[in-house]
Amino acid sequence: MLPLIFPWDLPGELLTALAYVLAVVAAWLVGRAVQVRGDDSVMGRRGWPAIAFLAALAAGIVVIRVKLGDIPDGPIRELTYGVMMATAFVAGIHLCGREIERLAALPGQVIAPPDPAELAAEREEATREGRSFDELAWQGRRARHHLNDLAFWILVSSLVGARVLFIIVNWGGPDGYGAHPEKIFKVWTGGLVFYGGFMGAVLGGWLYTRKYRLHFRAMGDVMIPALALGHFFGRIGCLTAGCCWGKPTVDPDFLLGAHFPKGSLAFNDMVRNPAVRDYLLAHGTTPSLHPTQLYEAVGELGLFLLLLFLRRGKRFHGQVMATWLVLYAILRLSIETFRGDWGRGMLLRWPAADPILLSTSQTVGLAILGVGIVLYLRWRPREQIAITGAAAPAA
Residue type, 182: E
> Across-strand partners of 248?
289
- With bands split at pLDDT 50, 70 and 90, how would you rate the model's confidence at 345? low
Region 70-82 average pLDDT: 52
* pLDDT tens figures, 9-67: 445 555 556 555 655 665 565 555 455 444 444 344 444 445 555 555 555 555 555 54
Q: What is the rounded average pLDDT for all residues in the chain? A: 78
- Least confident stretch, 107-121, 146-160, 378-392: 378-392
- Least confident stretch, 58-67, 151-160, 173-182, 330-339: 58-67
Region 125-154 average pLDDT: 85
* pLDDT tens figures, 255-280: 888 888 888 888 888 898 888 899 99
Alpha helices (runs of H) in the chain, residue ranges in sequence order: 12-33, 47-67, 80-104, 116-128, 135-169, 194-211, 216-241, 265-270, 274-283, 292-312, 319-336, 360-379
Any idea what the Cα angle at residue 32 is, between residues 28 and 38, rounded to 5°? 145
- Count of residues for the chain? 395
Q: Which pLDDT score, from 0 to 100, does residue 391 have?
A: 35
- Least confident stretch, 51-55, 173-177, 201-205, 210-214: 51-55
Do residues 73 and 215 make contact, with C-beta atoms less than 8 angstroms apart? Answer: no
Do residues 140 and 102 make contact, with C-beta atoms less than 8 angstroms apart? Answer: yes
- Kindly list the domain boundaries of the chain, sorted by start residue: 1-78
pLDDT surpasses 90 at 206? yes
User: CA gyration radius for the chain?
Assistant: 23
Q: Which pLDDT score, from 0 to 100, does residue 45 have?
A: 46
CA–CA gap between residue 23 and residue 59 (Å, rounded)? 6
Do residues 3 and 79 make contact, with C-beta atoms less than 8 angstroms apart? Answer: yes
Q: Which pLDDT score, from 0 to 100, does residue 366 have?
A: 93
Half-sphere exposure of 128 (CA within 13 A, CB side): 6
Q: Which pLDDT score, from 0 to 100, does residue 7 have?
A: 46
Pick from 22, 78, 80, 81: nearest CA to 54: 22
Any idea what the Cα angle at residue 394 is, between residues 389 and 395, rounded to 5°? 140
Q: What is the 3-state secondary structure (H, E, C) of 217-280?
A: HHHHHHHHHHHHHHHHHHHHHHHHHCCCCECECCCCCCCCCECCECCCHHHHHHCCCHHHHHHH
Alpha helices (runs of H) in 170-215, residue ranges in sequence order: 194-211
Residue type, 284: G
pLDDT surpasses 90 at 368? yes
CA–CA gap between residue 351 and residue 353 (Å, rounded)? 6
Distance of CA 280 to the CA centre of its chain: 33
Distance of CA 52 to the CA centre of its chain: 21
Q: Which pLDDT score, from 0 to 100, does residue 292 have?
A: 94
Among the ranges 48-52, 191-195, 299-303, which has the highest mean pLDDT value?
299-303
Do residues 286 and 280 make contact, with C-beta atoms less than 8 angstroms apart? Answer: yes
Among the ranges 143-152, 258-267, 324-333, which has the highest mean pLDDT value?
324-333
CA–CA gap between residue 150 and residue 166 (Å, rounded)? 24
* pLDDT tens figures, 109-125: 778 887 788 888 888 88
Do residues 58 and 21 make contact, with C-beta atoms less than 8 angstroms apart? Answer: no
Q: Which pLDDT score, from 0 to 100, does residue 46 have?
A: 47
- Least confident stretch, 174-188, 221-235, 292-306, 355-369: 174-188
Q: Which pLDDT score, from 0 to 100, does residue 228 have?
A: 92
Region 350-379 average pLDDT: 86
Q: Which pLDDT score, from 0 to 100, does residue 53 have?
A: 53
Q: Which pLDDT score, from 0 to 100, does residue 242 have?
A: 79
Pick from 205, 73, 106, 69: nearest CA to 149: 205
- CB-based contacts of 332, cutoff 8 Å, min separation 6: 296, 361, 362, 365
pTM of the predicted structure, to 2 decimals = 0.74
